[in-house]
Structure 1
Amino acid sequence: MISGVVLDLAGVLYDGKEAIPGATDAVVRLHKAGLPVRFVSNTTRSNKRSILDQLDRLGFSVTNGELFTPAQAAREWLGQHNRSPYLVVHPDLVADFHDLAGGGDRKAVVVGDAGMTFDYLMLNRAFRELIKGAEFLALAPNRTFKDADGELSLDAGAFVAALEFASQKSAVVLGKPSPAFFLSALASMQCPIAEAVMVGDDAETDIAGALRTGLAHALLVRTGKYRRGDEDRFKPSPTATVDDISAAVHWIMAARNREEKSLGSCHT
């Protein structure tokens, strides 16, 4: 029985500065059906407050507790392991780490999408921290993202891979497709893994990641970064590939109705 929905943001609910047509109504429909919703994003160029403000401007009513970001997961990891962050992130994301209690000389290199601020000196300083003994945290391993010009651009995953190669250290991935990231969102709405649906535009981190974690269904939308054939590039494959978030919600409602009818017939 479907009892919870997890939604990606960029490429699913909005594209650039505009909501995807029908997206606000689709989210409202989920709420009206009594389905709890959590919003998960691997976006690391914006801090959490900025993301919430953007969602509000676009007409989505999302609370702080309903939104899960890799920076939030990193803060929790740093606190649990008593490490201070060495940040390799976009300037706009620094705000999410400003009030962390220091771990002294015990550091963790935190890598996100630093955008145009990525350069050799930044990466080399991070490399030197890693070989001195710092832990290695990757906010997200995404290969690409859909840029403002509508084309795909290089995401943080390539820089994470470069630092892994040079330092011979494997990064702890905190955002999607980390199972812990999905499970944290599900736990917040008390949704069993086998009763959850993920909706995303990234066949690797959103879809395959959710299915490997054990979510019942993962729907790939043909908006955002989706490119023809993405549904066949990674395993596990999507439960279904649909046009957009409106079609995804229609699929969820139809599947839920079938499940309810099946349960009803079992009880008669």
Structure 2
Amino acid sequence: MSVTDWFSLNKNIEGVLLDISGVLYNSDASGGKAIAGSVEAVKRLKASHLKVRFCTNESQHIRSHLVQRLQGLGFDVEAHEVFSPAPAACQLVKDRGLVPHLLVDDKILPEFDAFKDDEGKTPNCVVIGDAVERFTYQTLNDAFRVLIASEEPLLITLGIGKYYRESGELMMDVGPFTKALEYAADCKAEIVGKPSPSFFQAALKDMGVDSSKAIMIGDDIVNDVGGAQKCGMRGIQVRTGKFRPSDENHPEVKPDCYVDDLSDAVNRLLSCSSS
């Protein structure tokens, strides 16, 4: 089925979920650069009848800083529209009355300020995110020791991505480090973020849109597209960000369609909706 045919058969779409990095902008050390046409594409989406939310596995920046970065690039984005894993993980840990051992980037530690009073207490779970330079043998071993000391080790991961693109280069994401701890501690991580169904469902609930009437647009074929499809949404993959030509032959995930970029997707979607 062609892209045009696919969109023409899906005029009942009411909500759109957008990934951020690799779809809206490409990140780099200077703060990133908007992908051509993406600022206008978001503006057009938000001016339409469609509801829009932003779902990201970003775990190197707190949500407010991420929103400031996007607004600085020209995007019409508000904090309440952005769903990121750190606040969700914090709420999960609080709800369960846990004491976390944090293996995350220093820049998102403010998201976990609620646990400052727990300093000195014995941790009973590990929260792992994309810790970048904090990933060392020592920090991973410290996390392993927390897990192995428990009869039922609990590992909470802010996503499970394999890699992402930054400054034009592919970088290892939190997934490989999570898998190492899973293997060493003989446990299964609880994912907060994409592709967790609960993460997508929180955004859908916030929009008041059923999964059958929603689309996820992302550059990650497994976590964005595959995760959305498992929740009953359509999944569209852009050929920007971490996309690689080999994605089009993925053995398990088959996107509902591919588009060149977000602008291409929005052009087709709005054209279909208004026809």
* TM-score (normalised: structure 1): 0.91
1:167 Cα deviation (Å)? 0.1
Q: Distance in 1 between matches of 2:269 and 2:112?
A: 36
- Alignment partner, residue 153 of structure 1: 171
- Give runs of aligned pairs for residues 187-202 of structure 1, distance below 5 A: 187-202=205-220
Letter in 2 for 1:62: V
- Alignment partner, residue 256 of structure 2: 239
Give the match's secondary structure for 1:12.
coil
- Alignment partner, residue 223 of structure 1: 240
Q: 1:101 to 1:114 in 2, by over 3 A?
A: closer
Q: CA RMSD, aligned part only?
A: 1.5
Q: Once the two structures are superposed, what CA deviation does each residue of 1:126-167 show, in whole Å capped at 9, x if it has no partner? A: 00101122521010100011022x121211100000000000
Q: Distance in 2 between matches of 1:65 and 1:191?
A: 16
163-172 or 84-93, which moves further after superposition?
84-93
1:257 Cα deviation (Å)? 4.1
- Give runs of aligned pairs for residues 51-66 of structure 1, distance below 5 A: 51-66=66-81
Give the match's secondary structure for 1:62.
coil
* TM-score (normalised: structure 2): 0.89
Tell me if the contact between 1:139 and 1:173 (Cα under 8 Å) persists in the aligned partners.
yes
Asked if residue 88 in structure 1 is aligned to residue 88 in structure 2, the reply is no
Q: Distance in 1 between matches of 2:99 and 2:269?
A: 42
Q: Distance in 2 between matches of 1:85 and 1:234?
A: 37
Q: Distance in 2 between matches of 1:235 and 1:82?
A: 37
Q: Once the two structures are superposed, what CA deviation does each residue of 1:225-259 show, in whole Å capped at 9, x if it has no partner? A: 1111213215331111010000111232244346x
1:25 Cα deviation (Å)? 0.7
Give the match's secondary structure for 2:245.
coil
Q: Distance in 1 between matches of 2:158 and 2:110?
A: 15
- Give runs of aligned pairs for residues 19-168 of structure 1, distance below 5 A: 19-100=34-115, 105=122, 107-133=124-150, 134-148=153-167, 150-168=168-186
- Alignment partner, residue 202 of structure 2: 184
Structure 2: stretches of 5+ with no match in the other structure: 1-11
Q: 1:69 to 1:234 in 2, by over 3 A?
A: farther
1:43 Cα deviation (Å)? 1.3
Q: 1:168 to 1:237 in 2, by over 3 A?
A: same
Tell me if the contact between 1:84 and 1:102 (Cα under 8 Å) persists in the aligned partners.
no
Q: Once the two structures are superposed, what CA deviation does each residue of 1:76-109 show, in whole Å capped at 9, x if it has no partner? A: 2112111122110111111111124767545320
- Alignment partner, residue 264 of structure 1: none
Quote the sequence identity (%): 38
Q: Once the two structures are superposed, what CA deviation does each residue of 1:143-201 show, in whole Å capped at 9, x if it has no partner? A: 011022x1212111000000000000100001100000000011001011100000000
1:73 Cα deviation (Å)? 1.2
- Alignment partner, residue 3 of structure 1: 14
